[in-house]
Each structure stands twice: as structure tokens, then as C-alpha cells.
Amino acid sequence: MNHLHPIDYIIILLVLGITLYLGFRFSNRQNTTEAYFLSKGNFPAWALGLSLLSTLISSVTFLGYPAQGYTSNWILLVQGLMVPIVLLGVIWFIVPLFRKVIGLSTYEYFEKRFGSFARYYTSSSFIIRQFAGMGTVLFLIAVAIHEMTNISPFIILAVVGFVLVIVNLKGGMQAVIWLDVFQGFMLFASGIICLGVILFSIKGGVPEAISVASANDRTGFGPYDIRFTQLSLIVMIVNGAFYAIQKYGTDQTVVQRYLTAKTDKAAIKASLLGISLTIPIWAIFMFIGTALFVFYKQQPLPAGMKAEAVFPHFIMTQLPTGVVGFIVAALISAAICSLSADLNSLAAVGIQDYYRKLRPNKTDKQYLFTSKLFVVISGIVSIVIGGLYLLAGNEGVLGVIFTIYAIFSGGIVGIFLLGLFSARANRQGVNIGIITCILFTAWAFFTSTPLGVKNPQLLLDMGDFNFTHHKLMLGVYSHLVVIVVGYVASLFFPKPVLEKNLLYSSWKENRKYDDIQK
């Protein structure tokens, strides 16, 4: 594989320089915790929309989706396709709900609705998922750049992690948002360039690409049978519906964007823009993988190359000097921008859900200092997790990430839906539902997970009582367990007296009142 040209390194260093500049550019404005985490009203809706896009698209999209398209069909794209379908129905009341009832953390809503146990359970689930996802993103970027440059992946991990922490430490949410805007344009441009070059390089062009891909099961969203024991279309549809609610309704990285907008209308507009742009970019990068499969059907590929390395190999061997630097810079930028949002959100949850509870009488200056300390600690932990991934190796990164989402979703959507739509659901009943969900998830995970990649023996073998459905369904079932058990158990306790605006019905009444006033 060819190495980077000095011109490519200059482009990469220029992008890293711009990234650091944006971090320091807004450093003098981070004087309060609200400014550091929200900077409310300082962003136009289009910038927030691009920020949402960049938050959801990282090096996982850049490398994971092409790897999936190269090795299989487009079934994992179904999860993303479910997002606009679900969100168009719920975004109208989710946004104003959060902007009315919480200050900074998404999980404040869960405490107001169901008490402190629900808050700590949902926030800790978010923290676990974030660290797992951030470690994966850092792992992917380190492997990809190593394939292109032969620089030690551990050095790459350290450099990217250092830039990431510095940008967050100095620039806060303002730097995160404007970096997202910059990265969104770079990512879209790099995807179009790469896809165009690949299709132009295939003998026979687009018709040949579609023909060969179809003949080799690289198109479509199958298998289409209604079975939950394997990865199938129905599994991805159901999982995707719950994923959409979880990501846009209960995930701190997204909800925090709602809070930064000046008005409810601007927040909704930004969300719709982000959703509308995300799907085409996911599709572009999945199609890049499909096109790569066809391209390397027509010419040899080095033996033993992993799927995650095919796209970097193409970039290094088929693209001209300068363009390679731009693509690599876009890849690094994608990782830094998405991880910046994750770090900021982790620190927000840490300060709002935990530190303020333990130290309620501190000054805002002390809270701001602790917030930045959380950023540093979270960055270091993520780098360590990425390093552990490097030491342990990798097997299907995109599938691993979706599995982590499923396993550690922990019934959060179930709690959220009960909170929104059931005035009868109460703290005691939902707590019972959460405990039942924990027991169910533990049983399902241990009776379906082998001891190791080469060891087929299960962590816990209960014979006919093992969990046999696909792991992506585990997350779905955990939500349903909370909904059913939580609601039934609530019937044995008094009906709760609720604050205004915590229910969907309250939003509906307020909307009717606003219409009458108009």
C-alpha cells in the first residue's frame, strides 16, 4: 500500500489546526456551566441540524458501513431508515417536552416522572453505551490511519485523543457545534468523491455494479422471513423503531442539541434537517462498500485483508495525492467531531446527574471546573478502551456496535414510553419493571453468549431455557418487559400526582389552548 505524500500530511495537519483553532476560538466564552454545555440561542437552526448529522455520523459510518456493504447486503441500513418514519410522528412533542421540564440532563425527566432510581439507571446505561461506542470509534480511526501510514495505531490513538480532549476542554459546546458544521461538509464531499471514483473505475459502470452486486447477494435487505432467531428484515425494522425513539428521545447527545436552540420551532427544524441528511449519507457509505466489492471482483485484492481495511486500501492505492489527504482528514475530523459531542454529553450527565447531587452547594465556577475535569477523565477512559480493542482485535465492528446498543439499551425506551403515555404508571411499578428488565437481560445475555470467539461454550447453558433469538431483539424485549411489568405492577400502587408537561396528553392540551388563543 502506498504511503501518504507530504502534500497529504499538510492537508491533514491543516484540518487538525482548524480543529484546534475552533476549540481555542471560543475558549473565552466558556465562563459558566450553561455556556459550556448549552450556549443557548447562539446557533442558527441549520447549524444545529448539521451538528445533529455529525453527531450521528462518525468514523463508524466512514469505515463500518463500507465494510458492511462489502461483506453483506444493506440490512443494517434498515435501522437508520426507520429513524425518519418514527421521528416524524414524535419529534413535535418530544422537543417542547424536554425544553420545558429539564435543565441540562435528559435523565432529569426520568426522575421527575419516576424518581431517582429511574434517573440513575437510565443515565448509567447511557454512560456505559457511550464509553463502549467511543472506544470503538477511536479503535476504527487508529486502525484505518495505521493501514494508510504504518504509524503505530497506539500513537494515532493518543494524538486523536489529545486533540479531542483539548478541543472540548477549551471550546465547550460552541466549538462542538461549529466543528460539526465543518465536518458535515467534509464528510459529505468525501463520500461523493469516493463513490464517484469507484463507480467510474468499475468496468461497465453503474449497471455492471448493480448486476454483479445483485448476483452476489450484496443488494436488498434480506433475509425477509419472519424469524427473530437470525438477523432479518423484521428484526431490523423492530429494532430500528426502538432505536429511533431511544436515540432521539432519550440520548443526551441529541437532547442536548434541542436545548441549545433558541426556540422550540428552531429545535424541531434542526432535528428534521439532521434526520433528512443522515439517511442519504448512510446510504452513500453503504453503497461505497457494495461498489468496492464489485471493483475488487474485477482486480486482485491482497490476500487476508479484513473488510474494515478494504476502503482505506482503495483510498491509498486509487486516489490521487491531495484527494487522499482530504479523505483522511475528513475521516479524522468525523471521529473528533462525533467524539467531541460524546465527551461534552458525558460531562453534562456527570455534572448534572451525579456531582450536583453529591455536592449541591458548590459555586458555578466550581461546577465548571469539575465539568472540565470530567471531560479529561472521560477522554482518557475512552482512549484506554480504544487501546484494549486494539489489543483484543476486532470482528465486525458495525455489528458489535449495534449489539452493544441492543444489550445496554436496558429498557430505557420502555420507561420513556410509560412516562409519556401512561398517567397510571408510577414510581414503584416502574422500579419493579426495571429490576425485572435487569434480570431478564442478564439471563438472555449469559445464555446466548459464548465464552470466546473460538469457544462455542455458553457463559451459562440452561438447555431449552436459553435465549435463542437474535441479540438485537434483546434490546427490544427489554423495553417491552419494562412496559408490561411496569404498567401491571403500577396497578398495585396509588395513581401518581404528576407535574404539568410530563405527559403527552399535557402537550396535547397545551397545543389546543395555544390554537384557541391564536
Burial of residue 494 (number of CB atoms within 10 Å: 0-12, 13-18, 19+):
exposed
pLDDT given at position 400 = 61
pLDDT band with cut points at 50, 70 and 90 for residue 428 = very high
Are the CB atoms for 83 and 102 separated by under 8 Å? no
CATH superfamily of 6-28+35-396: Sodium/glucose cotransporter (1.20.1730.10)
Residue 300 has pLDDT above 60, yes or no: yes
Residue 518 has pLDDT above 60, yes or no: no
Average pLDDT over residues 161-183: 87
Are the CB atoms for 80 and 282 separated by under 8 Å? yes
pLDDT band with cut points at 50, 70 and 90 for residue 119 = very high
pLDDT band with cut points at 50, 70 and 90 for residue 512 = low
Helices (H), 102-204: 108-114, 116-149, 153-201
pLDDT given at position 71 = 92
Query: What are the backbone dihedrals phi and psi of residue 415, each rounded to the nearest 5 degrees, phi first?
Result: -65, -45
Per DSSP, the three-state class of 458 is strand
User: What type of residue is 4?
Assistant: L
Q: 116: left (phi > 0), else alpha (psi -120 to 50), else beta?
A: alpha
* Summary mean pLDDT of the chain: 86
Residue 83 has pLDDT above 70, yes or no: yes
CB-based contacts of 332, cutoff 8 Å, min separation 6: 12, 15, 16, 141, 145, 160
Domain with CATH 1.20.1730.10 in the chain: 6-28+35-396
Residue 517 has pLDDT above 90, yes or no: no
Query: What are the backbone dihedrals phi and psi of residue 354, each rounded to the nearest 5 degrees, phi first?
Result: -125, -60
User: What type of residue is 367?
Assistant: Y
Average pLDDT over residues 362-374: 92
- Residues composing the chain: 518
pLDDT band with cut points at 50, 70 and 90 for residue 401 = low
Residue 460 has pLDDT above 60, yes or no: yes
pLDDT given at position 284 = 92
Q: What is the pTM of this model?
A: 0.88
For residues 358 and 378, give the distance between their C-alpha atoms in angstroms, rounded to a whole number: 19
pLDDT band with cut points at 50, 70 and 90 for residue 377 = very high
pLDDT given at position 409 = 64
Average pLDDT over residues 271-282: 86
Average pLDDT over residues 127-150: 83
Q: Mean pLDDT lowest for which of 56-65, 341-350, 425-434?
A: 56-65
Are the CB atoms for 13 and 332 separated by under 8 Å? no
Rg for the chain, CA atoms, rounded: 23
Residue 393 has pLDDT above 70, yes or no: no
